[in-house]
Structures are given as structure tokens and as C-alpha cells.
Amino acid sequence: MNGAHTKLTDFSRSAFTAVCCDDVMTPDDGNLLVVEDELFLRKAVAASLRFLGFEVTAAENGADALRLARSRPFDLLILDVMLPDIDGFEIVRRLRGDGNQVPVIFLTAKDTQDDKVTGLTIGGDDYMTKPFELEELVARVRTVLRRSRPAAPEPALSFADLTLDQETYEVRRGGRLIELSPTEFRLLRYFMLNPGRVLTRAQLLSQVWGYDFGGSSTVVSTYVTYLRRKLASDGPNLIHTQRAVGFSLRLPRPGEEASPGEVTPPGQVGADKPESSANQTDQRRRPGRPGRKPGELR
């Protein structure tokens, strides 16, 4: 047995399970064409990719590969360069000549720079030199598929008359387009992903600002105030203060507040008044405890 076979055998015992089980929650999918004249390698590659969830068609020569690749769409070709009839580079030249832009990972025993350059200039997406680890091939397959597929669209979020489009970054209330800063957008997005839940200032800090402020939540109250102002409409306030805890995105409870009452005039603060007023002063005039740089909150 040569090096490739030894590695594949080792792989099937140990690493394979690791590759498989990392991805149990998100099985791989995609139609792959594996072209390899060496029986053991063809079977090992096809079997392991199938095990991970891919649809795999296998071919043992260039003529079959061309016929299959022309007969139906594949998401990716794993293509041996040295085949008994038409070599892998030639197969890709002909497919590209047809206008077929299917991604390709070349497999080859050659490892000279010239071959690598040839493979990539005629439209290969990656290149594996034998012997290789199946685990590495799987990683490259996933990478090429990720690159070649459009990202899955993020669903638009909605709550009451509020909508937030995660693709276009458009926020609307009652159809009216609302301009938000990036931080305001992230804050609103987090509220809309957790409607009805009281979110603590600490949660909002870590999820929206992404780091720990050492307990200071000034910035959260400030940005909630900005957000309430921008979202103000004829409808009720939707971001409610839970005293001493945090904030929640929800509809007002009966009798809680007159709509559209909680519209905050510029320079003042609504439901959050005592704390936010103090905090805004704190942020503007006393930029922080010892050791914190001015502007660090932003």
C-alpha cells in the first residue's frame, strides 16, 4: 500500500468520525461528481462524502466524466488529473468551452508548481496533491461550495408594524423608512430576535456591543433612547423599560401608557428619565472611571 492508502485507512478509523460528528446538526448537501480511475481512492472519496450527506456520482474515466457533467448540473467536480483517456485539465477546458462554470477541485499525484498553475488558470478552484487526507479534502469541498453558493438569505424580522430587513438593512415602521446608525440597527435587531423577553443591560452590552463594559450600562440606555426617538410614530412605544433590569420589545399592556405618548422630545428622556439623564451627563461630562479612555464607549 502506498502513502495515500495508509492515510485513508487511518482516516476511516478515527478522523472520519470527528469530521462527521462536528456537522451532525447541519448535514452537508450538494451534488458532487468524483472522477478518479484508481478504484480504492474513488470508492473511499465517494463513500466518505456520501456519509457526510453529499449526493455523489462517481466516474472512472474522462469520457464518462464529460458525459455526466454535460448531462446534469453538479455543484462541484472532484477531478483526477491523470486519467486513462482525457486528462482532468482537458475535461475542464471542454466544460468551460461549453460555458459550464462548475467549481472543480483537482486531484493529482503531480505536485509541481506548473501543474498547479495550469489547474488554476484553466478554472480549477482548488488542487489536492496525492497522497492527501480525506479530512482535508472535505474541508476544501466545503470551502469551495461556500464560495460558489450565494449566501442563504437572512429572513426579514417583523414585530407589530416594525420590519427589519437583514439583507438590505432597511428598517420600516408602518411602511415608513427609518434611518438607523449601525449600532442602533444591531440593537433593534437583537430586540427583534427576542420579542417579549426582558433583555438585561449586560445581555445587550455583550450581544450588541460585543464586549464587557465592566458593569457600565450608560450606553445601553442612551441608545435605547435614540432608538425610541427614531421609531416614534402614531403607534405605541414598543421598547419598554423594566426598572432595574433592562428593556423589552413588546406591545404596551392595557393602561400602561397612552399611545403615542412615549415619544421622547429631543433633549429629554421618556420612561427612562431618571437613569438616562444621569447617564447622559455621566457620559458627556465624566467620561469614565479611572483607566477608561475618553470615547471608549463608542
Of the two residues 83 and 145, which places its CB atom closer to Ca ion in the complex? Answer: 83
Neighbours of 7 (CB within 10 A): 20
The answer to whether 108 and 87 are in contact (CB under 8 A) is no
Q: Nearer to Ca ion by C-beta: 82 or 198?
A: 82
Minimum CB distance to Ca ion smaller for 55 or for 60:
60
Q: How far is the CB of 83 from Ca ion (least distance, A)?
A: 6
Q: Output phi, psi for 252, to 5 deg.
A: -65, 145
Would you state the cell numbers that stand for residue 236, as one nine-digit string? 405605541
Stretch that binds Ca ion, among 78-86, 137-145, 170-178, 209-217 (CB under 5 A): 78-86
The site that binds Ca ion (CB under 5 A) totals a number of residues, namely: 3
The distance of closest approach from Cβ of residue 58 to Ca ion in the complex, given in angstroms and rounded to an integer, is 13
Nearer to Ca ion, 82 or 202 (CB): 82
Nearer Cβ to Ca ion (39/278) = 39
How far apart CA 180 and CA 167 sit, in angstroms, is: 15
Least distance in angstroms from the C-beta of 28 to Ca ion: 25
Tell which positions 87-146 bind Ca ion, by CB under 5 A: none
* Helix (H/G/I), strand (E/B), else coil: 199: strand
Is 272 one of the binding residues for Ca ion (CB under 5 A)?
no
Alpha carbon separation from 107 to 33, 79, 125, 174, 281 (Å, rounded): 13, 6, 11, 56, 65
Among 28, 75, 80, 184, binds Ca ion (CB under 5 A): 80
Q: What's the rounded Cα separation, in Å, for the pair 32 and 39?
A: 17
Smallest separation (angstroms) from Ca ion to the CB of 104: 15
Taking each helix axis from N to C end, the angle separating 218-231 and 182-193, rounded to the nearest 10 degrees, works out to 90
Compute the distance between CA of residue 203 and CA of residue 164 in angstroms, rounded to an integer.
21
> Nearer to Ca ion by C-beta: 37 or 135?
37
- The whole-angstrom separation of Cα 1 and Cα 7 is 10
Q: What distance in Å separates the CA atoms of residue 58 and residue 56, rounded to the nearest whole number? A: 6
| Cβ-based nearer residue to Ca ion, 134 or 219 | 134
Measured from the CB atom, the residue of 82 and 157 that comes closer to Ca ion is: 82
Find, among 137, 103, 127, 95, the residue nearest to 4 by Cα: 137
Binding mask 162-201 for Ca ion (x = CB under 5 A): ----------------------------------------
C-alpha cell belonging to residue 50: 456520501
**Nearest distance from C-beta of residue 38 to Ca ion, angstroms:** 5
Interaction residues for Ca ion, span 231-250 (CB under 5 A)? none
19-48 binders of Ca ion (CB under 5 A): 37
Chain residue whose CB lies nearest Ca ion? 82
Q: Does 82 bind Ca ion (CB under 5 A)?
A: yes
Q: Do 108 and 81 meet the contact criterion of CB atoms below 8 Å apart?
A: yes
What is the binding site for Ca ion (CB under 5 A)?
37, 80, 82
